[in-house]
Amino acid sequence: MKNVTLNNGVEMPILGFGVFQIPEEETQAAVESALAAGYRHLDTAASYGNENAVGAAIKASGIKREELFITTKLWIQHAPTGSVYDDTKHSFQNSLNRLGLDYVDLYLIHQPLGDYYSEWRAMQDLNKQGVARAIGVSNFHPDRLVDLIDHNEIAPAVNQIETHPFHQRATDQELMRERGVQIESWGPFAEGKNNIFTDPVLSAIAQAHEKSVAQVVLRWLIQREVAVIPKSVRPERMAQNLDVFDFALTEEQMARITTLDTGASLFFDHRDPAMVSWLGGRRYN
């Protein structure tokens, strides 16, 4: 497994296993299968509702804690008469309790909404205490990312954003590279949108390497130095998604994939007022 080194020296496997949209009752079995296949980087979130199941799978695996890289995420905190800073600490402890862990390797602000400056100040303290080995953000556009960096002591180690062949985020990645932030892809397969698994460009490249389209997409991301957390509940797909380190795409093939970029999200825009209100109205502990 290839690792990336975060801006504070922490090593993170470039390829992990995500559990977004896996029902809680199916998550433990899926994570146990992923760990058995060889994954050591797991990505969950308070809002996914399956941290308990992820923690149960970790415990059942018997794998040493130091061999695992565990990410979870903080949902938007709501404290109109209290302290967002304190609520962040409380939510973090709830996540630790659900996971059954003493620390996480990466803790992310899930959405660039609400009083995320108070959240970040609390997370900086969690990082200094060693209970969050690295801290970062998710879904931050460049303007908000730069503003957060410029007005705080610790720069985010990671920004986890929608990144796939139809929304490639090359400009975002370049800015992150300049600022020392590791880009991480969610939705690498665009959840099947735009007929990604039968796309002619990707299919031709896959055929040339005797690989699947999914493997080509993951390899394309890894060669761009984009960390990625594909999801599957099928053990054979989990194993296939790990099997991407024995081939390389040519410069010409990488360039052909570049032509697929639409420059726009296939899911939602965090700058859409209706989406901001919808996300901000959701509650998780």
Count of CA atoms in the C-beta half-sphere (13 A) of 208? 13
Task: Look at the chain and report how many structural domains it folds into.
Answer: 1
pTM: 0.95
Q: Which stretch of DSSP H or E encloses residue 131?
A: none
Any domain includes 285: no
CA dihedral sign, ordered 198, 13, 108, 168: negative
**Contact in structure between 246 and 151 (CB atoms under 8 Å):** no
pLDDT of residue 78: 83
Extended strands (E) in 171-272: 182-186, 227-228
Residues written for the chain: 285
Cα–Cα distance list, 154 to 101, 113, 123, 176, 267 (Å): 24, 19, 10, 14, 30
Give the Cα separation of 180 and 172 in Å (integer).
12
The whole-number pLDDT of residue 82 equals: 77
Residue 85 annotated to the active site: no
Tell me how far CA of residue 282 lies from CA of 7, 24, 77, 206, 208, in angstroms: 32, 19, 10, 40, 45
What are the DSSP E strand ranges found in the chain?
Answer: 3-5, 11-13, 17-18, 41-43, 69-74, 106-109, 135-138, 158-162, 182-186, 227-228
3 in any annotated domain: no
Instruction: Single out the catalytic residue among 39, 48, 85, 116.
Output: 48
Residue 2 lies in a domain: no
The pLDDT profile of the chain, 285 residues, written as one tens digit per residue, is 899 999 999 999 999 999 999 999 999 999 999 999 999 999 999 999 999 999 999 999 999 999 999 999 999 998 766 799 999 999 999 999 999 999 999 999 999 999 999 999 999 999 999 999 999 999 999 999 999 999 999 999 999 999 999 999 999 999 999 999 999 999 999 999 999 999 999 999 999 999 999 999 999 999 999 999 999 999 999 999 999 999 999 999 999 999 999 999 999 888 899 999 989 888 887
Dist. CA 5–CA 122, nearest whole Å: 23
**Alpha-carbon gap, residue 133 to 238, rounded angstroms:** 27
> Is the residue at 5 inside a domain?
no
Residue 4 lies in a domain: no
Predicted local confidence at residue 94, as pLDDT: 96
Token pair belonging to 276: 């901001």
Q: Which residues pair with 173 in a beta bridge?
A: none
Residues 53, 50: Cα–Cα separation, whole Å: 5
Return the CATH number at 217: 3.20.20.100
Per-residue pLDDT of 113-162, as tens digits, reads 999 999 999 999 999 999 999 999 999 999 999 999 999 999 999 999 99
Residue 81: what pLDDT?
A: 67
Find the domain containing 135 and state its range.
11-279
Residue 126 domain-assigned? yes
Distance (Å, whole) CA 149 – CA 144: 9
Instruction: Provide the 10 A C-beta neighbour count for residue 69.
Output: 21
**What pLDDT score does 282 carry?**
86
DSSP state for residue 187 in the 8-state scheme: -
Which helix (H) or strand (E) segment is 198 a member of? none
Residue 184 lies in a domain: yes
Q: Residue 149 domain-assigned?
A: yes
Query: What's the pLDDT at 79?
Result: 76
pLDDT value of residue 283: 83
